[in-house]
Amino acid sequence: MTSISSISSALTTDVMENMIFRNLPVSALGICSCVCKVWRERAEKQINTFSHEKAFGPKEWFIHFGIDLRNIPRLPPNIAEILSSPCPFWSSKKVHETHLLVLVPETVGGQSLTLKTLGELVKKPLVGLPTQYSFFALGEYADPAAPPSHWVLLTRDVIEGSRNKSYPDQQTLLSQQGLGVYAVPTILDATVCIFMEYVWSGTQLYSDSPWTWTRCQEKYDANWQLGVGGFAPDGLRVSRRGSNDEDCGVAGFRQF
């Protein structure tokens, strides 16, 4: 009996990528990624080259900023299944319709990725729309370097029912609706996702119309959480967000 690996080795890379994997739906790519190592690599590569609602990955970092990222973390083998599954927050839609999938690198251009270095980067993309912070106040937060490179799934809006609630209540809401796999986003992950979407597509998520912020895990000081939002033509705001703020909800966040 001919094995899958034997078939894979008999097919050229061009045939696999251009004639087979490119024409498969997301759900089928999820199945293929579980077959063997070779098929997983091909399926992941195809996911990373999908149109912009699917992923801002290493190719996009190179196109828009000229950054050649190395040691790219693997997406989970069931990522295609995750993207094509019903969204836990908007059940009539799929995850890929309601989320951003973004690679957050540890370093960019030889520098550690921080909120400040990110702000300089997005001012002058090689391709796409430039942007900036319109207000930037971190309080007692020290803006550390990014953790090791990772992938992020972030909802394109705050989840329903999360506005005008305390931070503990928002955490509880995420836990209840997010199937135990979602958390409040970190300030760096949320800001990277929002900025990359704008540079790429010109879409201002978490904008000023209507005013929308997401609270984040980090604290501005003992009494305030950091948040990001209010994206307007003059830029994105990063600052403190208080309790029971009607403009401020919380995004759904997963890290891979």
pLDDT tens profile 209-255? 999 999 999 999 999 999 999 999 999 999 999 776 788 999 999 99
85 shares its domain with 125: yes
- The pTM assigned to this predicted structure is 0.81
The closest of 188, 214, 209, 205 to 119, measured between CA atoms, is: 188
Mean pLDDT over the full length of the chain = 87
The 10s digit of each residue's pLDDT in 157-183 is 999 999 999 999 999 999 999 888 999
Q: Are 138 and 233 within one domain?
A: yes
In the block, tokens 């996911």 appear at: 47
Q: What is the b/e burial string over 118-144, where b = at least 16 CB atoms within 10 angstroms of the residue's CB? A: bbebbeebeebeebebeeeebeebeee
**What is the side-by-side strand order in the sheet with 235-241?**
133-136, 235-241, 225-232, 213-219, 248-249
Residues 177 and 218 placed together within one structural domain of the fold: yes
User: Could you give the C-alpha distances from 68 to 47, 63, 193, 212, in angstroms and in order?
Assistant: 18, 9, 18, 33
Do 7 and 126 sit in the same domain of this protein?
no
- Domains contained in the chain, number: 2
Residues 251, 227: one domain? Answer: yes
Residue-number span of the structural domain to which 229 is assigned = 52-255
